[in-house]
Amino acid sequence: MAQPLSQLYQRFKQLRGRRIFIIPTRFGLLYAAFLILILLGAINYSNSLGHVLAFLLGSLGLVAMLHTYRNLAKIELTQATTKPVFCGQAIIFSLVFDNQSHFDSYHIEISSKQETSKSWNPFRSLSGYLHPQQLSPLTAQHTTRFSYSLPSQQRGKYTLGKIRIASQFPLGLYSTWGYFPNNYAALVYPKPEGTLPLPDATAQGQKLNSQQQQGTDDFAGFNRYRTGDPIHAIAWKAMARDDVLRTKQFSTLQGGQLAINWQDVSQINNVEARLSQLCKWVLQAESSGMSYSLSLPNNSIPFGHGETHRHRCLTALALYE
């Protein structure tokens, strides 16, 4: 008995789609007050056209409700992408909205609230939406990309939380809104700053002399092929000679190697400031073409170079706790 009923309810929910809320605005209430005033006046003077106007405006108010509702009714958030940013820069979520209705939508306000914890007060969920931005128009049956930018205030993972779309279009008599709960998140790296110089690369490098230094620039010899070696590094000519797969080994000429350690910034007291300094070093090391490693108390990343490596290091810094 219960199961078909709940199935039915699920289907109904699907059909109904997202919940859209609508209430009159301050001006809507003012409008209603004026209407009642006009109607009272019309009754008092037994003025027929006064009745007509009051009824016309009343009907207009009802129709406006439908129009305001329609403005949001069929809008879906289909996609959100973002790129990591450094703290202080604006996080830009590229949101893709799909307007599935046959009508254009105008003037939609997008805002968001991070904190999604449940509160005993149901009205808490109504307020606290920040960073409102206007989006207009949303063409009928088209997707529209919108860059929603948010200030980043601290490093770490920035979850978008609930996105709220709201609109008062066309008459401003009603306010309608709906939510898109989601778990889209952006990564915020620490802000690169600090005055300490880069640790001495060579001094660090000599310590590691015995280790194999691998780079990409200078040919340093052959190694036997191991699974996972890059294909482009296979020495095909050498294979033609003796049927043994070898990979060419290169070494980096320029900066040598740099190990970035948590201990290097121990003279800075503040953890955030330390991370900022480390972040700056990572960027410096990356741009000067060195191979670098990062060791944090809870994580360590071996030597490497390049975009992916940088991202790995910065992510470790961003998420350090």
Binding site for other proteins (CB under 8 A): 27, 30-31, 34, 37-38, 40-60, 62-64, 66-67, 70, 73, 101-103, 106-107, 134, 136-137, 140-141, 168-172
In angstroms, rounded to a whole number, what is the distance separating the alpha carbons of residues 145 and 135?
A: 10
* Of residues 41 and 289, the one with the C-beta less far from other proteins: 41
Do 152 and 47 contact (CB within 8 A), yes or no? no
**Whole-number minimum distance, CB 307 to other proteins, in Å?**
30
**Whole-number minimum distance, CB 18 to other proteins, in Å?**
15
Q: How many CA atoms lie within 13 A of 292 on its CB side?
A: 32
**Whole-number minimum distance, CB 267 to other proteins, in Å?**
52
Q: Which two tokens stand for residue 146?
A: 């919108």
* Of residues 18 and 51, the one with the C-beta less far from other proteins: 51
Instruction: Decide: residue 148, CB within 10 A, 0-12 exposed, 13-18 middle, 19+ buried.
Output: buried
- Which residue, 78, 46, 262, 63, is CA-closest to 180? 78
* Of residues 96 and 273, the one with the C-beta less far from other proteins: 96
316 phi/psi in degrees, rounded to 5: -60, -40
Q: How many CA atoms lie within 13 A of 236 on its CB side?
A: 3
* Of residues 38 and 201, the one with the C-beta less far from other proteins: 38
Instruction: Decide: residue 68, CB within 10 A, 0-12 exposed, 13-18 middle, 19+ buried.
Output: buried
**Whole-number minimum distance, CB 31 to other proteins, in Å?**
6
DSSP 8-state secondary structure symbol assigned to residue 45: T
- Which residue, 269, 300, 306, is CA-closest to 286? 306
**Whole-number minimum distance, CB 42 to other proteins, in Å?**
7
* Of residues 75 and 278, the one with the C-beta less far from other proteins: 75
* Of residues 152 and 167, the one with the C-beta less far from other proteins: 167
Angle among Cα 77, 122, 74 to the nearest 5 degrees reads: 25
In order, the DSSP letters of 106-141 are: --EEEEEE------S-GGGGGS--EEEEEE--B-TT
Q: Which two tokens stand for residue 105?
A: 């939508």
3-state secondary structure of 94: strand
**Whole-number minimum distance, CB 251 to other proteins, in Å?**
48
* Of residues 175 and 276, the one with the C-beta less far from other proteins: 175
**Whole-number minimum distance, CB 103 to other proteins, in Å?**
7
In angstroms, rounded to a whole number, what is the distance separating the alpha carbons of residues 190 and 294?
A: 15
**Whole-number minimum distance, CB 168 to other proteins, in Å?**
6
* Of residues 76 and 229, the one with the C-beta less far from other proteins: 76
Do 72 and 165 contact (CB within 8 A), yes or no? yes
